[in-house]
Structure 1
Amino acid sequence: MKATKATLALACAFGMFLTAPTPASAKVASAGPVVAAKDISIASSLCSTGRVVSIAANLPIRVGPYMNAELVSTAQRGYQYSCWGFTVSGDWVQACGAYSNVWIALKWGTNGTVYTYAACMDDV
């Protein structure tokens, strides 16, 4: 089947992806070791004080735990935030010495929630 601009536009609009078979001679590149936000225990212990601090400069804060979610702010090293006490799984990112899909939920405004990389936050 030949993909036209219209078919590609529809596929993108409905979240479908067009794929082609992988040749038998193709080699899969290793992504390297997978580390979950410094270590596995950080997801349950992060935000135990109700406040976290950024350990990174220019840390994106987004409306969802995805790289393409709207950017609402950028944290600098040392900025502190109130947090909800939970983490979520989102896009995988390489940041702050970890390759992880763990994002922390931060309080934003009165009752809002925004997200950033859990690996780049520490308890205050």
Structure 2
Amino acid sequence: MRIYIASIFVDDVQKAHDFYVDKLGFVVKDSVKNGDFWWLTITNPDGGTELLLEPNAHPAAVAYTEAIRKDGIPATQFLSDDVEAETAALKEKGVTFTMDPTDVGPSVIAAFDDTCGNIIQLVQLKH
């Protein structure tokens, strides 16, 4: 067994598409529209696990995303080989960071606002 799709709730799928594809450099894996419904998954340019950009239309999803954001909890984490360089490159693209690169012992982390209701954490493992 292996992870196929993970998801995060977003407040606007089009805005999420634009941010995750244009700013972060991910690629669209699946995009299926049916009326107001949009199934959109993104992945790394070289493939791998997909991330579903899930509309937070359900009241529980809204409450969940608001609560973890208010508490500063990341909705998910992305791995980076160099958090310092990644942070600098993303800041040049206009990405707003809520936490600059910080050494936390076994890793270096940073966090940014995805413009769609989430805090995303970058992680660089030291081992």
Same fold per TM (> 0.5)? no
Return the index of the structure with the highest Cα Rg. Answer: 1
**TM-score, length-scaled by structure 1:** 0.22
TM-score by length of 2: 0.22
Q: Which has the higher helix share?
A: 2
